[in-house]
């Protein structure tokens, strides 16, 4: 597996509380992504980053914000968690600067909002 | 933007038979098409990919074919084994700085 870790791996939180998920990579890849995975919906892109302090929205970005202050870390924040944000969150990395577009996923974070 | 449709959503095959999963994409400019396998409780893993300058690519028991004219690509698994049971996702993108767009997945069950 590529050098990608996510923390926490599991979290239970209450509606209305802020939550931050962390993705850390040791591959020095330029691109990082946050996806959510829900039954029947596959993998949906929330936000992505193409460099330090450079981010863009994906198809399901409402209710989420991101930050990337270092190449190796990409943070996903739920400002006020809702039950609809209960999901499994995957971080991914890729290095489009090279010949390849291959994308590798982290182990995932299971978030439950009660 | 790109849209990827994947069929079927579930597929059951007998061990030793072949399995085929099909995907269509909407953006004719897309040129990179990976396939991911996700076992229960695990992360998606890249198993094979194909670029638009190639029509077919094989890796042991798995192969991917691409028809650019029809804008569809398929995953073929031969001599299926119980360990092939998983959810498979196709994806498409214009390689470069455009994120992958994923299909909704196919749950493959290989019955021993």
The model's pLDDT over A82-110, given as tens digits with 9 standing for 90+, comes to 999 999 999 999 886 545 568 899 999 99
Average pLDDT over residues B73-100: 92
Q: Which residues on chain B are in Cβ contact (under 8 Å) with A33?
A: 99
Q: Which of A103, A104, A106, A108 to mutate to test the interface with B (most CBs of B within 10 A)?
A: A103
Taking the CA of residue B96 and the nearest CA in chain A, the distance in Å comes to: 5
Tell me, what's the pLDDT at A6? 98
User: By the CB < 8 Å criterion, does A110 face chain B?
Assistant: no
What is the rounded average pLDDT of the residues B66-77?
A: 96
Instruction: Give the CA angle between residues B74, B46, A24 to the nearest 5°.
Output: 150
Torsion of CA B69, B74, B79, B81, to 10 degrees: 170
- Tokens at A84, concatenated: 């609809």
- Over residues A50-82, the pLDDT tens digits come to 999 999 999 999 999 999 999 999 999 999 999
Of chain B residues 30-89, which have a CB less than 8 A from chain A? 32, 34, 36, 42-46, 49, 89
Per-residue model confidence (pLDDT) at position B58:
96
- In this prediction, residues B42-61 reach a mean pLDDT of 92
**Cα–Cα distance for residue pair A105/B12, rounded to 1 Å:** 26
Q: Is the peptide bond before A35 cis (omega within 30 degrees of 0)?
A: no
Classified as helix, coil or strand, B112 is coil
Average pLDDT, chain B: 94
CB contact under 8 Å between B43 and A106, yes or no, is yes
Distance (Å, rounded) from C-alpha B56 to C-alpha B33? 11
Cβ proximity of A109 and A44 under 8 Å? no
pLDDT at A14 > cutoff 60 = yes
Coil, strand or helix at B20: strand
Note the pLDDT of residue A109.
98
DSSP letter for B84, please: G
């Amino acid at each position: 597996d590529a050098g990608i870790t996510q923390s926490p791996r599991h979290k239970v939180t209450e509606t209305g509380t802020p939550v931050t998920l962390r993705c850390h990579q040791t591959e020095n890849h330029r691109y990082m992504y946050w996806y959510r995975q829900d039954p029947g919906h596959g993998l949906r892109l929330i936000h992505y980053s193409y460099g330090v302090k450079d981010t863009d929205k994906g198809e399901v970005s409402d209710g989420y914000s991101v930050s990337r202050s270092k190449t190796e870390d990409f943070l996903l924040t739920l400002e006020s968690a809702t039950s609809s944000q209960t999901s499994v969150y995957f971080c991914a990395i890729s290095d489009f600067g090279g010949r390849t577009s291959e994308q590798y996923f982290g182990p995932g974070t299971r978030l439950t909002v009660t | 933007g790109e849209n990827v449709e994947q069929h079927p959503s579930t597929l059951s095959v007998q061990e030793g038979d072949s399995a085929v999963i099909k995907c269509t994409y909407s953006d004719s400019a897309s040129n990179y098409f990976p396939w991911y396998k996700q076992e229960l409780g695990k992360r998606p893993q890249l198993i094979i990919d194909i670029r638009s300058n190639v029509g077919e690519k094989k890796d042991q028991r798995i192969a991917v074919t691409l028809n650019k004219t029809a804008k569809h690509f398929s995953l073929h698994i031969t001599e299926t084994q119980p360990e092939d049971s998983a959810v498979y996702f196709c994806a498409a993108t214009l390689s470069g700085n455009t994120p992958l767009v994923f299909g909704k997945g196919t749950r493959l069950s290989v019955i021993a």
